[in-house]
Structure 1
Amino acid sequence: MKFECEKTLLASAIEGVSRAITNRSAIPVLEGVYLKAEGFNLTLTGYDMEMGITTTIECNVLVPGETVLEAKLLLSMVSRMPAGDVRIELTDEGQAIISGGVAEFEIPALNASDYPSLPVTGADNTMTIPTSMMRELIEKTIYAVSQDDKKPAHTGELFVIEPGSLTIVALDGYRLAIIQRDVECTRDIRIIIPAKTLQELLKILGGPEDPVKIDANRRYVVFTTNGYTIMSRLIEGDFLSYETVIPKEKRTRVVVDCRTFINVIERCSLIITERLKNPLRITFAEDKITVRCQTPLGKVVDEFPPVKLEGDPVEIGFNNRYLLDALRYSKCERMALEINGPLSPVKLLPEEGKDFIYLVLPVRFKNEG
């Protein structure tokens, strides 16, 4: 095998497919990038047995062939080559010579025949949406995905795909994020996509109007966008029936300026640490919102005026990080908090409309029964 490829193009492709590669795999060949040169193209693949990423770029193929090269080392070498073309050549002794300008490396090549084939997913076309929508849907929900493997289904995001509608749900037992968009879908299916797959998809997405094609069945999802194909196994298991936990009523509705609220919470969080996770005690009243906290490091009181408050005054406890995440990831100027008492989940929405729904569970104060 021997080929030449423009350095920047090659480095970008290696970096893209390497997002599916783990550095400490039980199968050594999976720590490498699979390269196949034929015709006028080079196809690159990264795979960790759960997620695979492939892309094809133009190159000058002098001798067709295939090989596997250690991903991290290959990317470091190619990205540090001088501008221009990079040549990769496989010797009869199983070595790979990587050269650019006068620089030349020689590293061991792994046996391409040991590299596992990506599964034939059989996934059916489901929808095509613009990158801007895909990015928004993930960024506004991924923060609420569970980090606890005890409930594997909640370590991913639920995609509820119906004709004309896509709903995405993430939850971790303490907060919940739901976002829905009207889109043209050709399927009616509910799937749970691993958070890791969606996080890597975010890094690969192209321009705002670039299409993202989504194919899915009961076992796999396949995203095709920006010259890449990302294949992922789905998470099996039962996702919480999220519709049943959304409060239907409210006793208090308060509209806040998000930037002001974030600034106050950040100040009050200065005395909260990983070891000292005391809750924020927040009082919502018609003329002011008061935020208090006390830990062994000290105590703090801060306040700011609401934009508007309807209903009863209420005092409620919050985990500072959960409340901050909801305010930050909403990317809203103003948000409405709908509260049905100090122990009921708090619903957070845009001031107008239902662009998304966030829920945050309150924290019970120690002096309460």
Structure 2
Amino acid sequence: MNIVCDKTLLSAAIDGVSKAVTLRSSIPALEGILLKAEGFQLTLTGYDLEMGITTTIEANVREPGEIVLSAKLLGDMVRRLPGGEVTICTNEAGNATVKGGVAEFDILAMSASDYPDLPNPGADRTFTISAGMLRDMIDKTLYAVSQDDKKPAHTGELFAIEEDKLTVVALDGYRLAIVERPIQAEKHIRIIIPAKTLTEVNKLLGEDDQEVAISANRRFVVFETGRYVILSRLIEGEFLNYANVIPEGYKTRVVLESRDFIDTIERASLIITERLKNPLRILFDNKVTVRCQTNLGKVVDEFEAKIEGEQVEIGFNNRYLLDALRNSKCEKVVLEMSGPLSPVKILPEEGADFIYLVLPVRFKND
């Protein structure tokens, strides 16, 4: 193989596909990037047996071929080369030369035959969505994905695809995030996509108005976004019937400024640590009063809000509330409550941009 390509394009491509490269594997080739040169282009692939990322850049292919190079080493080398063109060529001894300007590296290459084939997903085009809309849906829900492997299905997000809408749901047993948007889909299907896949897809999405094509079946999902194709295995298992846990009606309704609530919670959180995790006591009466007490001290804070219905005092995990408020990205939110031990619904003041639920914390002396 002997190719010449632009350093900036190559460095960006290496960074992109490296998101699917495993740092340590029993298969050494998986710690590398597969480079395949043919025609007028260079295709790069990263794969960790669960997710694969492929991209193609323009290249002057003097001699076609394919090799595997260490992802970390190649990325570090190319990043530090002077600007302009980079040459990569291999010799019969199995070494590769990476050259830019007067800088030249000779490194060990691995055979492309040692690199596992990406699976053929066999997935049909399911729907297209703008990068901006998909990014917004992921941003608004990913925070609520479970970190607990005891329920594998909840370590990913549910994509409930219908002919006229997409519903994305994340939950971890203590909070729930739901976002729904209109789309035009080819079929109905419910799939659970790993959180890691969605995190990397989010990083690789292009401009907001760029179209993202999504193909899915029962085992795989494929995202085609601009220069990248991301293939991922799906999570098997039953996702909670989330519709059954959304409370109907309320006894107390509060409209408040998100910034006021965030600032108040952040101040109260100064006396909460990993070791001292007492909940916040929040009273919704004529105003919102936030209290907390740990061995570090005691805090009382309050702010004005529009409150309708019954007075109620509820205990909250400070981080769960902050995550919901920050990810809502709303100036004002609505809290609907049915009592001190019922899930609290958080909504935008206007529209139906999202539905968040946060479970309250029972006070020890209750």
Select the residue among 343, 346, 354 that pairs with 1:345: 343
Write out per-residue CA displacement over residues 195-234 of structure 1, whole angstroms, 9 at most, x where no aligned residue. 0000000111111101111000000000000210000000
1:46 matches 2:33 = no
Q: Which residue of 2 aligns with 1:293?
A: 292
Which residue pairs with 2:147 in the alignment? 147
SS in 1 for 2:313: strand
SS in 2 for 1:181: strand
Aligned length: 366
The answer to whether 1:55 aligns with 2:55 is yes
Q: Which residue of 2 aligns with 1:164?
A: 164
Task: Provide the C-alpha distance between the structure 2 equivalents of 1:64 and 1:326, rounded to a whole number of angstroms.
Answer: 51
**Aligned sequence identity (%):** 67
Cα shift readout 1:257-292 (whole Å, capped 9, x = no counterpart): 000110000000000001111000000012x11000
- Give the aligned partner of residue 312 of structure 2: 314
Aligned equivalent of 1:364: 362
Distance in structure 2 (CA, Å) of the matches to 1:122 and 1:4: 34
1:302 partner letter: D
Query: Are 1:182 and 2:182 matched, yes or no?
Result: yes
Q: CA deviation at 1:355?
A: 1.1
Shift in Å, 1:44: 0.4
Q: Deviations over 1:161-203 (max 9, x none)?
A: 0010100000000000000011111110000000000000011
Measure the CA separation in 2 of the matches of 1:217 and 1:276.
Answer: 46
Residue type matched to 1:142 in 2?
L
Match of 1:135 in 2: 135
CA distance in 1, matches of 2:195, 2:65: 35
Structure 2: tracts of 5 or more residues without a match: none
Residue 122 (structure 2) aligns with: 122
Q: Which residue of 1 aligns with 2:234?
A: 234
1:23 equivalent in structure 2: 23
Matched, 1:68 2:63: no
Q: 2:208 matched to 1:208?
A: yes
| Superposed displacement of residue 339, structure 1 | 0.2
Aligned mates of 1:38, 1:182 — CA distance in 2? 40
SS state of the match for residue 140, structure 1? helix
SS in structure 2 at match of 1:184: coil
Q: Look up the equivalent residue of 2:349 and give its one-letter code.
A: E
Q: RMSD between aligned alpha carbons?
A: 0.5
1:282 matched residue in structure 2: 282
For residues 134-187 of structure 1, give each alpha carbon's deviation from its aligned partner in whole angstroms, at most 9, with x where no partner exists.
100000000000000010000000000001010000000000000001111111
Q: Secondary structure at the match of 1:141?
A: helix
CA distance in 2, matches of 1:193, 1:106: 40
Q: CA deviation at 1:353?
A: 2.1
2:332 maps to what in 1?
A: 334
2:110 alignment partner, SS class? coil
- AA aligned opposite 1:180: E
SS in 2 for 1:123: coil
**Hey, what's the Cα distance between the residues in 2 that align with 1:57 and 1:7?**
11
Matched residue SS, 2:222: strand
Q: Shift of residue 79 of structure 1? A: 1.0
Distance in 2 separating the partners of 1:75 and 1:89? 16
Letter in 2 for 1:328: R
Consecutive unaligned residues of structure 1, counting only runs of 5 or more, are: none
Moved over 2 A (4+): none
For residues 232-271 of structure 1, the aligned pairs below 5 Å read: 232-271=232-271
SS in 2 for 1:77: helix
Deviations 1:68-99 (A, max 9, x none): 00001000001111111000010110000000
Q: Compute the displacement of 1:128 (Å).
A: 0.6
Q: After superposition, give the CA deviation of every residue in 1:5-52 in whole Å (9 maximum; x if it has no partner).
A: 000000000110000011111211000000000110100000000000
Q: Distance in 1 between matches of 2:5 and 2:292?
A: 59
The amino acid across from 2:363 in the alignment is: F
Q: d(CA) in 2 for partners of 1:187 and 1:44?
A: 31
Q: CA deviation at 1:111?
A: 1.2
Distance (Å, rounded) in 2 between the aligned partners of 1:22 and 1:112: 17
CA deviation after TM superposition for structure 1 residue 247, in Å? 0.4
C-alpha displacement at 1:249, in angstroms? Answer: 2.0
Aligned residue type for 1:202: N
Hey, what does 1:84 align to over in structure 2? 84
How many Å apart are 1:110 and its aligned residue?
Answer: 0.7
- The 2-side partners of 1:109 and 1:278 are apart by 54
Q: Structure 1: which amino acid aligns with 2:313? A: E
Secondary structure class of the residue paired with 2:250: coil
